[in-house]
Amino acid sequence: MNIDHPSAQIPVSIRTSIVETFRVQAGLAVSVESVSAEVGGEDKSIDCISVLGLTSSAFLGSLALGFPAPTLLQLLEKMLGEKYPALTAQNADACSELLNIIYASARTSMNQAGFDFQPAIPATVLGANLSVALRNSSRVLKFKCQSEAGPFLVALALRKSA
Amino acid sequence: MFSLNTKVLVVDDMLTMRKIVIKHLKDLGFTDIVEAVDGKQAYSVLEAASPPVQLVVSDWNMPNCTGIELLKKVRHDARFAKLPFVMLTAEAEAHQVKEALEARVTGYVLKPFTKETLQQKLEAAAKAAA
C-alpha cells in the first residue's frame, strides 16, 4: 500500500469528511492534529479498528478508522445518551458506521472531482493494542485526530492501479 | 408532521445507527417504534404489523435486501404502495438519489444527520405523503 503521487483532493476530502462526520453525527469538535506519511509503525492503544478497501480506476488502497476503547465508549455515550462499560461486537459497529459515513461523504466529493471510487463495506476488528501490519517499505497517510472524547486515528493507504 | 402516534419502522443493519435513529425519534415524541436489521426482515414486519406501520425510515446498504430493494418491493405491493418511506443513507451520488426518486421515495436524509435535520425531513415527507 504505497502512496504514489496521490491527488491532493483525496486527503483533503477525507480530512473534511472526518471533521464534518463527527461534528454532525456526534456533536463532537474534532481537530486533525497532524497528517503524516509514515513507513510501517505501530499504533499502540488502538482497541477497535474498521477498514474498507478503496477501488477506483486510478487508485487502489484502504481506509481505516481506529479508536482506543475509552474514546469509542465516550463517543457512544455522546451519540446514544447511555453509558457502556465495555466495547462489544454489537456496540463496536459504531466504528464501522462512522467509517462508512466518512468514506461515503468523501467519495461524493472525490468523485465530483473526477475520480470514480466505488462503494465499499467496512470490516471491524475488536481487540487490544491493535496495529495495522504493512508491507515492508509501505507508507500510510495517518490523520491523528483529537476530540473531547479522546484521540483517534484515520489511516489512508493508496497506490496507483496497475 | 406525522402524528406522534405514528407507527415507525426503523431499518438498519447497524445496531448503533438504529439506536441513534430511535433516540432521535423518541426525542421528537414518537412512541410506537419497531425495528428491523435488513430489508427482508423489514418486509416481514410490514406484513405482520398490527396496527400497520405508517412510516418507514430505512438505510440503503444492508445485507439480504437493501433499502432500495425494499423500497421497490413496497411500491409494487398495493398494500404499501403509498406508505411514506424515508431513505436514511450516506449515499449521496446523483445516480443513487435519482434511483431512489424514480422508485418513489418520500424523503431522503443524508448521513451524517442531526435530530433537527431528521425532523425537517420528516415534516417534508409528511407533506409529500399527504
Which residue among A96, A103, A107 sits closest to B14, beta carbon to beta carbon?
A96
Print burial letters for B79-98: b (CB count within 10 Å at least 16), e (below 16): ebeebbbbbbbbbbeeebbe
Residues A93, A150, A34, A156, Cα dihedral to 10°: -10
Chain A nearest-CA residue for B63: A121
In chain A, which among 65-104 make CB contacts under 8 A with chain B? 76, 79-81, 90-91, 93-94, 96-97, 100-101, 103-104
CA neighbor of A42 nearest in space, from A125, A122, A123, A140: A140
Q: Are A93 and B112 in contact (CB < 8 Å)?
A: no
Q: Are B19 and A121 in contact (CB < 8 Å)?
A: no
Q: Are A91 and B15 in contact (CB < 8 Å)?
A: yes
pLDDT tens digits, one per residue of A12-71 = 999 999 999 999 999 999 999 888 777 655 566 899 999 999 999 998 999 999 999 999
Q: Identify residue B126 by its one-letter amino acid code.
A: A
Q: What is the nearest CA distance from A125 to chain B, expressed in angstroms?
A: 15
pTM: 0.90
Output DSSP code: residue A116: -
Q: Which residues lie below 8 Å from residue B70, measured CB to CB, with a gap of 6+?
A: B11, B39, B42, B43, B56, B58
Q: What is the mean pLDDT of residues A89-113?
A: 94
Q: What is the mean pLDDT of residues B43-72?
A: 95
Residues A153, A43, A147, B110, Cα dihedral to 10°: 20
pLDDT tens digits, one per residue of B71-95 = 999 999 999 999 999 999 998 888 8
Which residue among A81, A101, A103 sits closest to B112, beta carbon to beta carbon?
A101
